[in-house]
Structure 1
Amino acid sequence: MAYDLDFRNRVLEYVTAGHSKKATCALFGISTNTLYVWEKQLSEQGHLERKNVLLSLAKFP
């Protein structure tokens, strides 16, 4: 599932306000892995924007 940028920011602000990661994930309905990926992305890349993925269309004969 793709989450919008505003939602990602709200989740991380909630954690930085002092709430536990487990409680945050339960409240927002996300997995702990998702939260860790967002934290890692923010620290390494400096933003939470999703990658642009180019989808190739399957060619049918």
Structure 2
Amino acid sequence: MVYSTDFKKGVLDYIKEGHSHVEATKVFDVGVRTLFTWEKKDVNKDT
């Protein structure tokens, strides 16, 4: 499935606000592995 950049940013911001990955998967209906992939790409993007 393809997710928009805005959607990914919203999910990552939700986690950065202090919510757990498990909470994010339930709220946004995204897999945990997907979240970690997005985070890894987000971190690499900043370097």
TM-score normalized by structure 1? 0.72
For the aligned residue pairs, the C-alpha RMSD in angstroms reads: 0.7
For the pair 1:39 / 2:43, whether they are aligned, the reply is no
TM-score normalized by structure 2? 0.92
- Based on CA coordinates, which of the two structures has the bigger radius of gyration? 1
Q: Which has the higher helix share?
A: 2
Runs of 4+ aligned residues of structure 1 deviating over 3 Å after TM superposition are none
Unaligned runs of 5+ in 2: none
Aligned to 2:18: 18
Identical aligned residues as a percent: 35
Q: How many residues align?
A: 46
